[in-house]
Amino acid sequence: MKIVVIGGTGLIGSKVVEHLAEHGHDAVAASPNSGVNTITGEGLAEVLVGANVVVDVSNSPSFADDDVLAFFTTSTTNLLTAEREAGVAHHVALSIVGAERLPNSGYLRAKVAQEKLIEESGLPYSIVRATQFFEFVGRIADEATVDGTARLSTGLMQPIAAADVSGAVARVAAGDPINGTLEIGGPERIAQDELIRRGLAAKGDTRTVIGDPEAPYFGTKLTGTELVPLSDGAQLSTTTFADWLAAQSAAMK
């Protein structure tokens, strides 16, 4: 099958392309760098010629509330329109577990808006909702740090390795549309402050980490299980945070 991966040169997309190519698919990485721009529409019609599946793992260059909403709604609308014209038979999108449970987050509101456009498009689709990636630990810590102290929520997370996300997205793309949502996550539930504490310690980062139930997470407050998979059909990976940290350490040697 010809499978076009929008955002195919990024952290997730590049690995999705690799997985699909390894299984014999014609996987095409599409991004502004390759002349495909889902905001302007440039290159969309051309890259979708003969495509059976489109995978959208693109992300907004700006996380400001208005910018991220404009990105996901404009990009998704243009993409779905082009897919309809090209006769694409399956639209796959990567979203976030718990997006609808945290409406105070502008980013998560934008992902909910993106999902709604897909669900109401009339096109066969699959939405893969993932938990936060292990790779985001440093950024979460940096966002929460003031004067050398990181103040983190005590709400639960169930993080997953980006490699496991890519594998799951590729499997969905190679299968039939589910016309619904699949939740994926890691094997362990960990309080956000503890996750960051472990991650920083593994890197020798001496920042103080304080658990605070009132600490915001990118503009919203976690009270418990908003960001963990709750559906009966959720698929959990086997890579633990300790496994991932050990792999990162080994790769640095």
**CA distances in angstroms from 218 to 10, 63, 221, 232, 237, listed in the order given:** 22, 10, 8, 28, 25
> Rounded CA gap, 84 and 90, in Å?
10
The whole-angstrom separation of Cα 36 and Cα 41 is: 7
Helix spans in the chain (H): 11-22, 44-47, 65-86, 106-119, 137-144, 162-174, 192-202, 241-252
Helix (H) or strand (E) holding 210: strand 208-211
Mean pLDDT of 193-204: 96
d(Cα 218, Cα 239) in Å, to the nearest integer?
Answer: 25
**Could you give the C-alpha distances from 1 to 12, 103, 145, 217, 246, in angstroms and in order?**
20, 37, 46, 40, 36
d(CA 172, CA 184): 12
Percent of the chain with pLDDT over 70: 100
- CA dist 139 and 154 (Å) reads 17
May I ask the CATH class of domain 2-252? Answer: alpha beta
CA 236 to chain centre: 15
pLDDT tens-digit map of 122-145: 999 999 999 999 999 999 999 999
Does pLDDT of 253 surpass 70? Answer: no
Which of 166, 103, 112 minimizes the C-alpha distance to 135? 166
Under a CB-based contact definition with an 8 Å cutoff, are residues 156 and 230 in contact?
Answer: no
The structural domains of the chain, with segments of one domain joined by +, span 2-252
Q: What is the pLDDT of residues 181-195, one digit of tens each?
A: 999 999 999 999 999
**What number of other Cβ atoms are within 10 A of residue 50's Cβ?**
13
What are the pLDDT digits (tens) for 161-171?
999 999 999 99
Tens of pLDDT, residues 13-27: 999 999 999 999 999
